[in-house]
Structure 1
Amino acid sequence: MMRARTIAAISSAVLALSAVAGPGLAQEKIGEVSTTFRLMSPNDKVVIERYDDPKVENVSCYLSRAETGGWSGAVGLAEDPSRFSIACRAVGPTRIVGKIPADKKGEVVFSEDTSIMFKELRISRFHDTQKNVLVYLVWSTKLIDGSPYNSISVVPLD
């Protein structure tokens, strides 16, 4: 019983730290569904989170991503799969409140560790000035071999 409480406390601390890590978007967990039942440890899940862009008023990105369960997932030692989807929307009148680069490299607006060893989930923002839209890209990094999995969403500016 004591071990389960310790693991739960460590897991909560890891999640709290990962929520504030990296630049940018304010994050809020919207919900989750279990995808794999595990009798004695936490289930694998698909998690839905909302990220509000701090430089663009009324733009929110909704991200679904896989989260590994089991004991290794509970203590932050598991590597989450690089599978995700993103949908960004204007939830009111948009207004840019910071400088947004218009170069081809974009700007990383959110970054979160998805494993203990050098893997991150990132959301980058690109400004297509010709069409006056923002393009949000969710992607994954890994020290040796990055992931080709990615997803984009486009938000028109007023």
Structure 2
Amino acid sequence: MKHILALLFLTAASVMANTAHAENIGCVSTTWRVVNNDKVCVQSFKDPDIEGVACHVSYAQTGGISGALGFAEDPSRFSISCRQAGPIVAKKPIPKKQEEVFTQRMSFLFKGLNVSRLVDTENNSLVYLIVSEKVIEGSPFNSISTVPLMPWGTQAPQFQLK
């Protein structure tokens, strides 16, 4: 059992090391509680491999005592919006298959919010998909946002696929 927990921890740490860092934008209370209200929070992150793409994620956060201590499991309700925020420049060749670009824990150990980037070559677009994953069972709740690969001023996108 100790080895399984260590493997889970190392896997989570390696996934989190390869993903973008989020900036907290703010939270809005949705349900009053004596200790720590339930909230909807917004964070922003930039695609770690593609300059010029910014995403905003909103998600539900459980309050109460267990939420304040970090033991509550947040619900699988979220939204994502990604936009071109400057010239699009890929830092490395981008794989045509899905690639995880952002991860956030939604419970102490077993649940995560994950954003993957997919490339829609036929429509010349990047697609960002947000889903909830659990060790045992995921959730069907999801949201997508697309970013068309377009020029920024006079600069064409600099993008190479693997």
TM-score by length of 1: 0.82
What is aligned with 2:41?
Answer: 47
Compute the displacement of 1:46 (Å): 0.2
Q: How does 1:57-72 map to 2 (within 5 A)?
A: 57-72=51-66
Structure 1 outlier segments of 4+, above 6 Å? none
| Structure 2, unpaired ranges of 5+ | 1-12, 151-162
1:101 alignment counterpart: 95
Given the alignment, which residue of 85, 93, 107 partners 1:115?
A: 107
The amino acid that maps onto 1:38 is R
Aligned to 1:29: 24
The one-letter code of the counterpart of 1:114 is M
For 2:31 and 2:17, the matched residues in 1 are separated by 29
Q: Sequence identity, in percent?
A: 52
Give the RMSD, CA atoms, in angstroms. 1.6
Matched, 1:142 2:134: yes
* Cα offset, 1:38, TM superposition: 1.0
Gaps of at least 5 residues in structure 1 are 1-17
Write the distance in 1 (CA, Å) between the matches of 2:67 and 2:102: 21
Q: What does residue 79 of structure 2 align with?
A: 85
Instruction: Evaluate the alpha carbon distance shift between residue 22 and residue 83 of structure 1 in structure 2; reply closer, same or farther with a 3 A threshold.
Output: farther
CA contact (8 A) 1:88 1:153 kept: yes
Deviations 1:4-63 (A, max 9, x none): xxxxxxxxxxxxxx9x94432231011110001112x11000001001111111101101
The residue identity in structure 2 corresponding to 1:63 is V
